[in-house]
Amino acid sequence: MEVYDGFAKPFVFGRERTEILNRTHFVLNIYERPWHELSIRHFVAAANGAVVLTEPGENRYPFVPGEHIVECRLEMMPDAVMHYLTHEDEWGAISKNMFELVTSKLTLMRSIKSILTAAEAVLAARRTPPLRV
């Protein structure tokens, strides 16, 4: 296990981070408070074939535990890691599902289209005169 926390080891970026993540099975998502979740780890892990191992949090994203991520309490994480290391097919399916999700459904193009569609609806509602009774 390696921890790049900015204290014991400096944060890593660019090519060095990619090389580390390409060797990684799991990216841990552990936070001080349930709302401190950093979902950017989900995307970084997915892009490099790693699986996010996360504590349950308050934020709800389109990531389904057991399908896109592994979610469990902190004290259960060692057992979860051992399970998936001995069941590579399950680990591989989660990695593949997450990669497909972030590269096909959670894309920047789809996000922008969704925002523009919502804005269009608001503008259309403003152009329509209110009904007078």
Rounded to two decimals, what is the model's pTM? 0.76
pLDDT tens digits for range 80-122: 999 999 999 999 999 999 999 999 988 889 989 999 999 999 9
CATH fit for domain 14-106, picks 3.40.50.2000, 3.40.50.1970, 2.40.50.140, 3.20.20.70: 3.40.50.2000
First vs last Cα of the chain: how many Å apart? 69
pLDDT tens digits for range 89-99: 999 999 999 99
Q: How far is CA 114 from CA 10, 89, 98, 128, in A?
A: 37, 35, 21, 22
